[in-house]
Amino acid sequence: MSITIRDLSFTYSKDSVFAITALNHINLEIPDGQFIGLIGHTGSGKSTLIQHLNGLLRGTSGEILFHNKNIYDKDFNMKNLRSKVGLVFQYPEHQLFEADVFTDVCFGPKNLGLSAEQIKQRAKAALDLVGIDESYYQQSPFSLSGGQKRRVAIAGVLAMEPEVLVLDEPTAGLDPRGRDEILAEISRLHQKKHMTIILVSHSMEDIAKYVERIIVMNKGEKVYDDTPKEVFKNYQELEKMGLAAPQMSYIVRALREKGFPIDSNVTTVSEAKTEIIKVLGNGGKP
């Protein structure tokens, strides 16, 4: 088991009149190799939660175990945790600061005390994984497009060779093509490296298409934790939280109301296509 969260709570500005409880008794098991979607309305606690996973924030109460070791123990190696649980922030500019792309990606492995050759090998391998060509290596990361900046930010984390990759809204502000390219790269990483991936996103379509498990946060609490199909069955409750099911779910429900016997659990375009072809092949009958 990669990460175990036990009864974790967190309060901002504790013991003051401005105290705000952001996490309330969270319990989670995050196994090796799983692709997880984390969703919730703004202020639900999801961003606060992911910042606990590599120790950027410390819980007010409760504990977090990484490979069965409590990260809050005095002798726990927090530096090692942050190399193994990589966090990519929503805005790549927060993680880019070197003069050129290659030097920026080298920064993480350099801090691990590796040799110059190992550092270069890791940086190149990471940039290859995210599809950044060598022609970009000497460019300033701030001269790149939004999608390219995100790729470089992800490469900087991958160069640390993490076991867990946490991505906070990695496609925010990108056009549809850029969004699809980034998510396809993340999916390939998951398949190739078998690493644990936690994807924070407001796009239910993206969540439905890529993840195998969804955790739903609301007002600092975990309210759902199941497969996409099971979670999206609760679309009316999700709507009350300011969320929704994927658009395809609503289209399928509309078709069912018109008498088409389409599986109500359909959540993606490819699933809907298969179901509609099957129904039309049967003359619109079950």
pLDDT higher than threshold 80 for residue 285: no
pLDDT at 96 (0 to 100): 86
Section 64-68 average pLDDT = 95
Section 203-232 average pLDDT = 94
Taking CA atoms, 166 is separated from 186, 243, 272, in Å, by: 11, 21, 29
Give the span between the Cα atoms of 236 and 245, in whole angstroms: 9
Among 55-64, 75-84, 160-169, 244-253, the range scoring the smallest mean pLDDT is 244-253
pLDDT at 284 (0 to 100): 55
Give the span between the Cα atoms of 193 and 191, in whole angstroms: 6
Averaged pLDDT of the chain:
90
pLDDT at 15 (0 to 100): 84
Taking CA atoms, 129 is separated from 124, 169, 184, 188, in Å, by: 9, 19, 11, 9
pLDDT digits (tens, 9 = 90+) for 13-64: 988 888 999 999 999 999 999 999 999 998 899 999 999 999 999 999 999 9
Decide if 204 contacts 193 (C-beta within 8 A): no
Work out the angle at residue 235's Cα, subtended by the Cα atoms of residues 234 and 239, and round it to the nearest 5 degrees.
125
Taking CA atoms, 259 is separated from 100, 153, 235, 246, in Å, by: 59, 48, 21, 21
pLDDT higher than threshold 70 for residue 249: yes
Burial 161-195 (b: 16+ CB within 10 A, else e): bbbbbbbbbbbeebeeebbebbbebbbebbeebeb
Listed in sequence order, the residues at least 6 apart from 8 whose beta carbon sits closer than 8 Å to its beta carbon are 23, 25, 26, 27, 52, 59, 61, 62, 63, 64
pLDDT exceeding 70 applies to what percent of the chain? 98
Listed in sequence order, the residues at least 6 apart from 284 whose beta carbon sits closer than 8 Å to its beta carbon are 259, 260, 261
Higher pLDDT, 70 or 272: 70
Higher pLDDT, 158 or 172: 158
pLDDT digits (tens, 9 = 90+) for 69-81: 999 999 999 989 9
Instruction: Find the DSSP H helices in the chain.
Output: 46-53, 78-84, 101-110, 116-129, 146-158, 176-193, 204-210, 228-232, 235-240, 247-257, 269-281
Work out the angle at residue 50's Cα, subtended by the Cα atoms of residues 44 and 56, and round it to the nearest 5 degrees.
120
Listed in sequence order, the residues at least 6 apart from 196 whose beta carbon sits closer than 8 Å to its beta carbon are 2, 3, 30, 31, 32, 33, 34, 35, 36, 163, 164, 165
Domain boundaries, the chain: 246-286
pLDDT at 283 (0 to 100): 59
Give the span between the Cα atoms of 1 and 32, in whole angstroms: 6
Residue with tokens 């939660």: 49
pLDDT exceeding 90 applies to what percent of the chain? 53
The one-letter code for the residue type at 119 is I
